[in-house]
Amino acid sequence: MTTRDMTFVALFAALTAACAVFPPFQPPFVPAPIVVQNIGVMLAGSILGARRGSLAMALFVVLVAVGMPLLTGWRGGFGVILGPTGGFILSWVPAAFVVGWLVERGWSRLGFWNLLVFNVIGGISVVYLIGIPWLAAVANMELGKAVKVSTIFIPGDLAKAAIASFAALIVKRSYPLIRA
């Protein structure tokens, strides 16, 4: 990995933290407000690819774990990671990897729709696949119940996948970083 790669990785970890600045937005007909921050997962995967993208998320998660208040609402520390929602945050590392892996394979014919599918698979499915069982285990909940609790976030996550896909395509045009 070159110095430039290391810089990209560090910048995307920092970018994910900086997204905490953007206020949560509340679209109509959606029960939970949408926090902008976890869009960082999709952006890191879509723009940096599997290896660098997941590394950026790993750095972010590590810094949250060791006590930097980087999550929306100035939260951080081991408590967040070990708590009921910790799985959702830990999942960002494999999620960015999966998004990046898919994007690398589809790079030459990348359009909005396939990018959206990649972000839904990696950025949403992987996150839920890890986050929901974790929630069920920590909270002693039945899996079905944990699934139900989590569904309120799906509309917001879909919106984020669309935004991330748009943004990544715009960026790809001026700064193609995966295969220049």
Partner 1 sequence: MLSLYVPGDSIVHRLPAGPKLLALFAASTALFAVSGIPIHAAELLAVAGLFRAARLPWRDTLHQLRPALIFLVPIFLFHAFVTDWRLGIETVLRILVLLLLAVLVTLTTKLSDMIDVLERALRPLRHVGVNPSKAGMMLSMVIRFIPLMTREAREILEAQRARGLDRSALALLVPLLIKTLKMAGDLSDAIEARGYDPETVAPVWRRWG
Residue (of 82, 80, 88, 85) closest to 130 by Cα position: 88
Which segments of the chain does DSSP mark as H helices, in order?
A: 3-18, 39-48, 50-65, 78-82, 86-90, 92-105, 112-119, 127-138, 143-150, 154-174
Closest CB to partner 1 among residues 91, 165: 165
Tell me the C-alpha distance between 116 and 46, whole Å. 10
Tell me the C-alpha distance between 164 and 158, whole Å. 10
Closest CB to partner 1 among residues 105, 142: 142
**Number of CB atoms found within 10 A of residue 21's CB:** 9
Residue 130-169 contact track with partner 1, rule CB under 8 A, x = bound: --------xxxxx--x--------------x--xx-xx--
Among 73, 107, 112, 152, binds partner 1 (CB under 8 A): 73
Size of the site for partner 1 (CB under 8 A): 65
Within 8-37, which residues bind partner 1 (CB under 8 A)? 8-15, 17-23, 25, 36
Site of interaction with partner 1 (CB under 8 A)? 1-4, 6-15, 17-23, 25, 36, 39, 43, 47, 55, 59-60, 62-63, 66-70, 73-85, 138-142, 145, 160, 163-164, 166-167, 170-171, 174-175, 177
